[in-house]
Amino acid sequence: MTQTFDKTTRTEAPLRADEVTALRGFLDYHRDTFRWKCAGLSQEQLAQAHPPSTMTLGGMMKHLALNEVGWFGSSLAGLPYPPPFDDVDWDADPDWEWRTAADDSPEDLRALYDDCVRRADAAVDEALAAGGLDAVSVEESSSDGPFSVRWILLHMIEEYARHNGQADLIRESVDGMTGE
Amino acid sequence: MSDDELVVSTGSTDERVDPPLHGDEVAILRTFLTYHRETLRLKCAGLTQEQLAQQLPPSDISLGGLMKHLALVESQWFDYYFRDFPHAPPFDTMDWDADPDWEFDSARHDSPDELRALFDEAVARSDAVVDDALTRRGLDEESARVSPRTGETFTLRWILVHMIEEYSRHNGHADLIRESIDGQKGE
């Protein structure tokens, strides 16, 4: 089995919108773009790298799932990491999510990813209700205090867009598929 | 942010400014955009004309092509759409119907210095357009031209966030291409 995503259903960021709607629209656009880049591929294809880079699409999906619950769950809301990220020994295995994705089926990767996105959106809903985009994170950065919701949303947009750029070239090398 | 606060990388050292963690909307959008323009400069720094033309097959994208493409994208959004000006040279005289990938294809004939000068000029012109717009209606100001797809105008807010994700996506391309040229990696 493979993952599925119908590109015609991809979220588009509205052209004239307030700040919250624009930022969440762009983030959803990139989440959907990433789902599309991973759709229709076998477990072996999701584990394929484009040398000399060692990144894979499956590894990236598990990495972005981790980023969702890392930034929105742990940093913003102070929540514990959900399984399977909660009992990883990150000091011993800092690239755990990239490495272990090769053992996961396409459906399992996508289910984990979708679950982490849902958790992230719930944390954003709650933070916005409490303090809008200026609301700050429970966890603080090492040197400059807490992060605002505004900063985390923009960071996630650029994080996703950057990984989607890498995904563009990896996907093209796997089966020739290209496109924004 | 004033112009003299913008850090310009002249070589391959990382002088990028991290976006403020709790700044207002204008400050944070402009710093993220500057950060990604700087990232592209870093990804292209220290390479010869031949290296800037190198591809990572099967993709036909090159770093030099990306730099020229993003110079075009700057002019397209801030000159053409936002204020209804013609595209800046050399993009104003191109026949896009005949050669839709002109900027990507022609970049291999440009020296590294020429590509960088074109890019830096495009960025400076865009920043001046944004500075000017912010003295008026700010991020809610609407573009002079409309989207050919929806017929709607774009807000300056949408254009700035779009430019951040446009650059980030291309910097993702640049990551893999640069690594394939000389092994250099990094955010």
- What value of ipTM does the predicted structure carry? 0.96
Q: How far apart are CA B98 and CA A56, in angstroms?
A: 36
Pairing of strands A136-140, B153-155: unpaired
Per-residue pLDDT, A179:
97
> Is pLDDT at B10 greater than 90 in this prediction?
no
- Interface size, chain A vs chain B, as Cβ–Cβ contacts under 8 Å: 132
Segment B122-156, tens digit of pLDDT: 999 999 999 999 999 999 999 999 999 999 999 99
Greater confidence (B159 vs B4) lies with B159
The DSSP secondary-structure symbol of A146 reads: E
Helix (H) or strand (E) holding A138: strand A136-140
Q: Which residues of A touch B164 (CB under 8 A)?
A: 154, 157-158, 161
User: A40's torsion region: left (phi>0), alpha (psi -120 to 50) or beta?
Assistant: left
Interface of A with B in 125-144 (CB under 8 A): 133-134, 136, 141, 144
Q: Residue B125 in contact with residue B74, Cβ under 8 Å?
A: yes
Helix axes B63-75, B112-134, angle to 10 degrees: 30
Q: Residue B124 falls within a domain, yes or no?
A: yes
Which domains does chain A carry?
A: 7-175 (1.20.120.450)
- Judging contacts by C-beta atoms under 8 Å, the chain A residues touching residue B139 are 19
B187 within domain boundaries: no
Chain B partners within 8 Å of A163 (Cβ): 172
pLDDT of residue B15: 86
In-domain check, residue B127:
yes
- Nearest Cβ partner for B32 among A145, A154, A166: A154
Q: Distance (Å) from the C-alpha of residue B147 to the closest C-alpha of chain A?
A: 9
Neighbours of B10 (CB within 10 A): 9
- Are B165 and A158 in contact (CB < 8 Å)? yes
Burial of A81 (0-12, 13-18, 19+ CB in 10 A): middle
- Predicted confidence band at B3 (pLDDT cuts at 50, 70, 90)? very low
Which structural domain range is residue B165 located in? 3-182
Cβ–Cβ under 8 Å, residues B42 and A164: no
Candidate from B22, B142, B158 with C-beta closest to A13: B158
Per-residue pLDDT for B38 more than 90? Answer: yes
Please report, for the domain that includes residue B149, its CATH number.
1.20.120.450
End-to-end CA gap in chain A: 25
Residue B159 in tokens: 């254009």
Would you place residue B99 in the very low, low, confident or very high pLDDT band (cuts 50, 70, 90)? very high
How far from A132 is each of A127, A155, B150, CA to CA, in Å? 7, 17, 30
Question: Among A48-52, B4-8, B99-103, B171-175, which is the least confidently predicted range?
Answer: B4-8
Angle among Cα A20, A39, B186 to the nearest 5 degrees reads: 65
Peptide bond into B58 cis (omega under 30): yes
- Nearest residue to B64 (alpha-carbon basis) of B50, B75, B74: B50
Mean pLDDT of chain A: 97
Residues 77-116 of B with CB under 8 A from A: none
Looking at the structure of chain B, the number of domains it has is 1
Tokens encoding A140: 């603080």
